[in-house]
Structure 1
Amino acid sequence: MTIDVREAYRRALEDFGALVHRIGPEQWGNPTPCVDWDVRALVNHVVRENLGAPELLAGRTATEIGDLFEGDLLDDDPIKAFDTSAVAAMHAVSGDGALTCVTHLSFGDVPGREYIAELFADALVHTWDLARAIGADERLDPELVEACTAWFAESENGYRPAEAVGAHQEVPSGTDPQTRLLAFWGRRA
């Protein structure tokens, strides 16, 4: 990865959060590019990931966490729920040992650095999903796109069989980097 993975994650999460703060009351039910998810479900997914990060980086297994973060985590104040979860996630990834610990994910054990890279990629791609759903500017930070593309080129074989990403979409040669990245993740830009 061309930039520090924790910095990449922070920036992607901030970009996602900026869009969360722009969601209008009438937009929470808008469909997203994620099959079966509306805007509220998408934000809830990211909040779930954020809340799980401190647990997983502290050594708990996905099995131990179980359904702790299932259901609607947004309650009556989705923006506050997101903000609170983002602070917790960033605190966890910034902690001593976060890069070198072993995280016990549902599909196997991975180093903390790899898990944080996955969180980064998830936040980045979901930023595009949210932008599309609410009609915001869909351009992602080019440096983050480049970093995510480089990471995913090395990690794709571990995530695609686990169905952690959508089916790769074909794009013509000469397609811009963002569109290529989104296609790797199963999105049609």
Structure 2
Amino acid sequence: MHDLVNHIVGEHLWAPLLLAGATVAEVGDRFDGDVLGNDPVKAWDRAQRESNAAFHRPGALDIDVHTSGGMTPGVEYAWQMTSDLAVHAWDLARGIGADDTLDEELASSVYAYIEPEVDSWQGIGVFAPPVKIADSARTQDRLVALLGRRP
């Protein structure tokens, strides 16, 4: 679970810099390795607070952002980060044996964003291949299955 939380915190440490116009090269390796230190909760609180502020800055969603995938519209970057948080919330809940239920509106919105894109992500190491489940399955199950997880 440490690696998952470290990944999530690291992603949110990047956001303020990228949304301020930094390139991936300018951020460099400053968030490589363990970004949690001795207090993972404090590390998360700081990262999410600064990321949240950066995304809510006026005009943040109207700019193009440097990402590892190239220049990305700010609104697209926000969707990527939201999707990452939603799916990893499910991963974390599963990993620690907690309730893995996602908010239905969140699951539906993220599914609607990801479903048309998932085929283009195959083979680049973003997610495992989709898992087959019934079309009648609840939205969150279809979402995580689409991203290679077994609900």
Whole-angstrom distance in 2 between the partners of 1:64 and 1:161: 27
The partner residue of 1:150 within 112, 118, 124 is 112
Asked if 1 retains the 8 angstrom alpha-carbon contact of 2:10 and 2:35, the reply is yes
User: Whose relative contact order is higher, 1 or 2, with alpha carbons under 8 Å and at least 6 apart?
Assistant: 1
Q: Which residue of 2 aligns with 1:43?
A: 5
In the TM superposition, what are the counterparts of 1:27-176 in structure 2 within 5 Å? 39-176=1-138
Q: Measure how far apart 1:169 and its partner are.
A: 1.2
If the length of structure 1 is used for normalisation, what is the TM-score? Answer: 0.76
Correspondence for 1:182 = 144
Q: 102-111 or 142-151: which moved more?
A: 102-111
**125-134 or 63-72: which moved more?**
63-72
The runs of at least 4 aligned residues of structure 1 exceeding 4 Å deviation read none
Count matched residues.
151
Pairwise CA distance, 1:65:
1.3
Are the aligned partners of 1:54 and 1:92 in contact in 2 as well (CA < 8 Å)? yes
Q: CA RMSD in A?
A: 1.3
Q: Is the contact made by 1:63 and 1:106 (CA closer than 8 Å) also made in structure 2?
A: no
How many Å separate the matches in 2 of 1:118 and 1:108? Answer: 13
How far has the Cα of 1:158 moved from its partner?
Answer: 4.6
In structure 1, runs of 5+ residues without a counterpart are 1-38
Q: Output the CA distance in 2 between the equivalents of 1:161 and 1:66.
A: 25
Gaps of 5+ in 2: none
TM-score scaled by structure 2?
0.94
Question: Structure 1 residues 56 and 158, CA, compared in 2 at 3 Å: closer, same or farther?
Answer: farther
8 Å contact from structure 2 (residues 135, 142) kept in 1: no
Q: Which moved more, 1:133-142 or 1:152-161?
A: 152-161
Deviation at 1:175, TM superposition (A): 1.6
Determine the C-alpha separation between the residues in 2 that align with 1:108 and 1:144. 26
